[in-house]
Amino acid sequence: MRSASASSDSTRRATERAPGHGERAAIGLLLLGIFAVACAPEPAAPPVPEAMVRRLTAFEYANTVRDVLGVEASLAREFPGDPPALGFDTVATSQPPSSLLVQIFQHSAESIADATLRSESARAALHVCTPAPADPSPCLRAIVESLLTRAWRRPPERAELERYLALIEPAELDAGLRLVIEAALLSPQFTFRWERDAGAPGESHWLDDHALAVRLSYFLWSSAPDDELLALAVVGRLQDASVLAEQVERMLADPRAAGFVDGFAGQWLHFRGLDDIFRDAHRYPRYDEAVRDSMREAMRRRFREFLVPGRDLRDLLLDTHAHVDAELAALYYLPDEVAVGEFTRIDLGPHKRRGLLTEPGLMTVLAYPFASAPTRRGRFVLEQLLCSPLPPPPPEAAAQPVSDASTARERLAHHRADPACAGCHAILDPIGLAFEHFDAVGAWRGSEHGELIDAAGELPTGERFADVRELAAIVADDPRFPRCVATHVLTYALGRPLVAEDQPVLSNIYKKFIAADRDLVALIVAVVQSDPFRARRAQEAP
């Protein structure tokens, strides 16, 4: 009961923004009137691969509680992390849950119920009406129905509503509401995202509207659908491709798109991993938790620029500006007269830096505790940006020979002398060594152990670059880059590995992305409009 506290200012604002119950009903009726003729999708869905139900990640759980109840799920920070699969925790949550997790959900639900009833704003949002002393039932019903609809992302069935209402003694409203919240949050209806099968096992069908709203909101917000999405679901409008496109733009412009920034980009570009990066204070006196937080925020801001239509995603790598605050100023060696306080954009012209690849946060995540890590940095470019992973190293690579080289370039040159290692390292090393000017916390350096750093290189294709800025341009123009981005976004959206059946869909999405000059918003719209996002294959009967 100690563990949850009232929501932060920003979430309270979000709660206040949400229309009240009566207002919501009015919007629903209005929409119903306008779109009386709901656009039915094509009758039969094309075959799509089977997908398993997914549990909410700890991140999704916290966001959902914030948006549904207006309080912070503070225990969610201490949930056991979902170990990523294919680089995303959302993929891992298709694994069956452990008993321990169910126990954690119970404990957390009790703590959140307590926080909700303690918070004035959360209580106010919960009470969509005031029970009449003579006949409290209609209002109690409205309160519980509203809560379950938001928490479960769909209206409750009549039997479900009765079951939850039975937990309330009207004379002890608070005690009853506490139990309703506890049960609603412990229910698998909250902790999982179920999608109902319609039709024969093995056959594909279009998702129902609420399930589609849920896929959309967890993809772009890592949270529950808001009233507008639920209202659109009620009238069947989400099946319309143009409505989906409008919703994507609306949702990406909403502050809740922070869920996509941290959930997708935080894992794709590794900045979520900064949480776990510690550095020796003597060797890296500039690095502390405040710097780490600023590194992450700088990367968020760089990525967020691409959530509005009209940007070319190549600029993620090519942009000549960075977001810098007072914490990061020292890492950039900004002169004192450039007084930086809050985050501001600086021109990277004088800094020998460019775009994502020289972000201090990225350089820090891709380093060893006490040194730069050219192989990790090279792998990041090959795996995360180009989707061209190298084969695993040979077994004997684990026991490396002694090296007395003073620079990383010399050390790797010795390594390449081993024929078992040479093949892969010929690809990996030139890329990784291009980053050598950036130390283990992403600060620029001219030399290592007294030897001048040479960041120039040549790729196996013969392309030459003088430094990481020229390498960034090569990677940005590599056709594998946009295709790789499409692969990551689709995998994240579907929460499952892509299989052979998905390849035509992926190609189609990729073509639309290219046709839109690599506009990330267009890519996301194409993903949301694709068949595997909108359809489901009915599972075998048990």
Partner 1 sequence: MKSATRRGLSRRALLAGGAVAVGLPFLDVMRPPARAAGPVRPRRLLCYFVPNGVRGDAWFPASDPVLQLSPSLAALAPVKERVIVFSGLANAPGLPELPGSHASGTAAFLTARKARRSEVDLHVGVSLDQRYAAAIAGATPLDSLQLGCEGGGSFGACDIGFACAYHRSISWSSSTTPLPKLTSPRLAFDLLLAGDDPGASAAARARRRAQRRSVLDVVLADIHDLEGDLGVGDRVRLDAYLAGLRALERQVDAPAGACPAASPPGEPADFLAHLDLMNELMVLAFACDRTRVLTFMLGNAASNRAFPFLGVEGGHHDLSHHAGDASKIAGLRQVDAWQAAQFARLLQRLADTPDGDGDLLRSTIVLLGSDVGDGNSHSHHDLPVLLAGGDDLWGGGRHLAYETGTPLARLYVSLLQALGLPDTRFGEDGDGPLTGLRLDA
**Least Å from the CB of residue 401 to partner 1:** 6
430 lies in the site for partner 1, by CB under 8 A: no
CA dist 84 and 413 (Å) reads 33
CA dist 243 and 311 (Å) reads 22
Which of 107, 118 has the CB closer to partner 1?
A: 107
User: Of the candidates 13, 17, 196, 464, which one interacts with partner 1 according to CB under 8 A?
Assistant: 196
Sign of the torsion formed by the C-alpha atoms of 66, 67, 68 and 71: positive
Footprint (CB under 8 A) of partner 1, residues 139-158? 157
User: Of the candidates 45, 62, 73, 91, which one interacts with partner 1 according to CB under 8 A?
Assistant: 91
CA dist 31 and 379 (Å) reads 50
427 lies in the site for partner 1, by CB under 8 A: no
Which residue type is seen at 176? G
CA dist 224 and 521 (Å) reads 20
Compose the 366-385 pattern: x for residues touching partner 1 by CB under 8 A, - for all others: --xxx------------x--
Q: Which part of the chain contacts partner 1 (CB under 8 A), choosing from 89-97, 217-225, 350-358, 515-523?
A: 89-97
293 lies in the site for partner 1, by CB under 8 A: no
Output the six-digit token pair for 499: 């299989």
Which of 256, 279 has the CB closer to partner 1?
A: 279
Question: Which residue, among 216, 272, 222, has the nearest Cα to 90 in the 3D structure?
Answer: 222
Within 13 Å, how many C-alpha atoms sit on residue 170's CB side? 12
**Least Å from the CB of residue 467 to partner 1:** 25
Q: How would DSSP label each residue in 210-230? A: HHHHHHHHHHHTSS---HHHH
Output the six-digit token pair for 505: 């869909």
Footprint (CB under 8 A) of partner 1, residues 232-251? none
**Least Å from the CB of residue 368 to partner 1:** 6
**Least Å from the CB of residue 154 to partner 1:** 13
Footprint (CB under 8 A) of partner 1, residues 247-276? 266-267, 270-273, 275-276
CA dist 479 and 497 (Å) reads 22
Q: Which part of the chain contacts partner 1 (CB under 8 A), choosing from 92-100, 217-225, 349-357, 502-510?
A: 92-100
CA dist 108 and 131 (Å) reads 28
User: Of the candidates 45, 65, 75, 252, which one interacts with partner 1 according to CB under 8 A?
Assistant: 75
Q: Is 446 helix (H, G, I), strand (E, B) or coil?
A: coil
To the nearest 10°, the Cα dihedral for 466, 378, 303, 288? -100
Which of 45, 521 has the CB closer to partner 1?
A: 45
399 lies in the site for partner 1, by CB under 8 A: yes
Q: Are strands 535-537 and 204-206 parallel, antiparallel or unpaired?
A: antiparallel
540 lies in the site for partner 1, by CB under 8 A: yes
Which of 9, 158 has the CB closer to partner 1?
A: 158
**Least Å from the CB of residue 512 to partner 1:** 27
13 lies in the site for partner 1, by CB under 8 A: no
Q: How many residues bind partner 1 (CB under 8 A)?
A: 92
297 lies in the site for partner 1, by CB under 8 A: no
Q: Which part of the chain contacts partner 1 (CB under 8 A), choosing from 40-48, 88-96, 321-329, 451-459?
A: 88-96
Compose the 94-113 pattern: x for residues touching partner 1 by CB under 8 A, - for all others: xxxxxxxxxxx-xx--x---
Footprint (CB under 8 A) of partner 1, residues 487-526? 496-497
**148, 184 Cβ separation under 8 angstroms:** yes
419 lies in the site for partner 1, by CB under 8 A: no
**421, 398 Cβ separation under 8 angstroms:** no
Footprint (CB under 8 A) of partner 1, residues 165-194? 166-167, 179, 182-183, 186-189, 191-192, 194
CA dist 339 and 329 (Å) reads 9
**258, 218 Cβ separation under 8 angstroms:** no
Output the six-digit token pair for 129: 């009406």
